Amino acid sequence: MLLRKTALVLALATAALLASTATATAAPASTTAAPTTPFAAAAANPVIVVGGLSGVAVAYEPIAARLRADGYRTFIYQLPGLGFGDIPTSARAFAGYVDQVRASTGAASVDVVAHSEGGLVSRYYLKRLGGTATVGRYVSLGTPQYGTYVANIVAFLGLGSCAGVVACQQMTIGSTFLADLNAGDDTPGAVRYTTIRTLQDELVRPTGNAAVNDGATNVLIQSYCPLRVVGHLGLVLDGTAYTIVRGALVDGPVRPNCLAL
């Protein structure tokens, strides 16, 4: 079963890379809609949804649509090369994108909602590239903050060092990249940090590695909603996960809606 899951992950990632060479480095186009809910009053910062490994921008439209419906000026950042390359290099490109969003909206700060590898790219920007000056809230969804043995297992299966995918190598438990990222304070600056994880995450194992230390709000969905089944990709589609995101963006308490669609 593990072999089939790993092969499927690699096949999907390779297909996505071949299918799309576009990146989100062009000047951002706002996806703002008219405010329709009470949450719009708190939507002072634009929100950048940061995609993960092999995540094309369109895959994040569902969560972007929810954010727009709540009145947020929403942007989707597709990682350069679909995130297969060096994470610090992707973070430097992301820093430029943040500056473009701020320039186009006139906002001093942005909020970040990042999925999977996108959470590492964003965290590197915050910790190593001065991003704490321009980000108000950081929310990660299924990010392997301390690595995942799914990355390690690729080498075990005889496919080389993550089949040559640099980002996969960097997300391996014990990698040099993660040792540097996690040295010292996990939550620098005045940014409000929230991590969201699920017990059914197929790609972040152990699932506790999706949390960070030093004052972050770390939310395990099943601690509040034991019967909720949410996979890795489902974190950007699931209604309950979104209610946690929405609360984090208004600095509210953790009160997931276990029945949200």
**In a domain? residue 210:** yes
Q: What is the mean pLDDT of residues 217-227?
A: 98
When the pLDDT of each residue in the chain is averaged and rounded to a whole number, the result is 86
Q: Residue 24 domain-assigned? A: yes
Please report whether residue 65 resides in a domain. Answer: yes
List the structure tokens of 85: 């390359």
**Token pair recorded at residue 94:** 């992301």
Average pLDDT over residues 198-215: 97
Tell me if 12 is assigned to some domain: yes
Residue 24 has pLDDT above 50, yes or no: no
Residues in the chain: 261
Q: Residue 119 above 60 pLDDT?
A: yes
CA separation for the pair 48, 176 (Å, rounded): 28
Dist CA 261 CA 241 (whole Å) = 10
* H or E element that contains 110: strand 110-115
Q: Quickly state the pLDDT bin for 44 (edges 50, 70, 90).
A: confident
pTM attached to this predicted model: 0.85
Residue 254 within any structural domain of the chain: no
- Decide if pLDDT at 15 tops 60: no
Tokens 């590898």 -> residue:
117
pLDDT of residue 159: 60
Q: What range does the domain containing 135 cover?
A: 2-249
pLDDT at 252 over 80: yes
CATH number of the domain bearing residue 105: 3.40.50.1820
Q: Retrieve residue 186's tokens.
A: 């996990």
Report the distance separating Cα 152 and Cα 44, nearest Å.
41
- Strand, coil or helix: 239: helix
pLDDT tens-digit readout, 143-166 = 999 999 988 776 655 666 788 899
> What integer pLDDT is reported at residue 10 of this predicted model?
38
Nearest-5° Cα angle at 31, 28 to 34: 145
User: Is pLDDT of 34 > 90?
Assistant: no
Is 35 within a domain?
yes
In-domain check, residue 260? no
Q: Tell me what the mean pLDDT of segment 88-108 comes to.
A: 97
Residue 48, classed as helix, strand or coil, is strand
pLDDT of residue 190: 97
Q: How many domains does the chain have?
A: 1
Residue 261 lies in a domain: no
With a pLDDT cut of 70, the percent of the chain lying above it is: 81
